[in-house]
Structure 1
Amino acid sequence: MRRLVCALLLVATTAIPTLALAEDDAAMLELADKSRCTACHDVHEKVTGPAWADVAKRYRNDAGALERLVLKVREGGSGAWGTVPMSPNKRVPEENIRKLVAWILALK
Structure 2
Amino acid sequence: MKKLAFVVLMGALCYACGNSAEESPKTNTTEPADKTATETPKPADDMSSNPDYTKGLSLIGNSDCLTCHKVDEKLIGPSYRDIANKYENNEANLSMLAEKIIKGGSGVWGQVPMAAHDNISQDDAKAMVKYIFLLKNN
Name the TM-score class by shorter chain: 0.7 to 0.9
Q: Does 1:81 align with 2:109?
A: yes
Q: Which secondary structure does the structure 2 equivalent of 1:92 belong to? A: coil
2:122 aligned to which of 87, 94, 99: 94
1:68 aligned to which of 92, 96, 113: 96
Q: CA deviation at 1:27?
A: 4.7
Larger Rg: 2
Mapping of residues 3-82 of structure 1, within 5 Å: 18-19=45-46, 21-24=47-50, 25=53, 27-60=55-88, 64-82=92-110
Q: CA deviation at 1:105?
A: 1.5
Counterpart residue identity of residue 69, structure 1: L
Please give the TM-score of this superposition, normalised by the length of structure 1.
0.72
RMSD between aligned residues: 1.9
Identical aligned residues as a percent: 34
Flag the structure with higher helix content.
1
Which sits farther off after the overlay, 63-72 or 75-84? 63-72
Counterpart residue identity of residue 32, structure 1: I
| Structure 2 unmatched runs, 5+ | 1-44
| Structure 1 unmatched runs, 5+ | 1-17
The number of residues matched between the two structures is: 90
Please give the TM-score of this superposition, normalised by the length of structure 2.
0.58
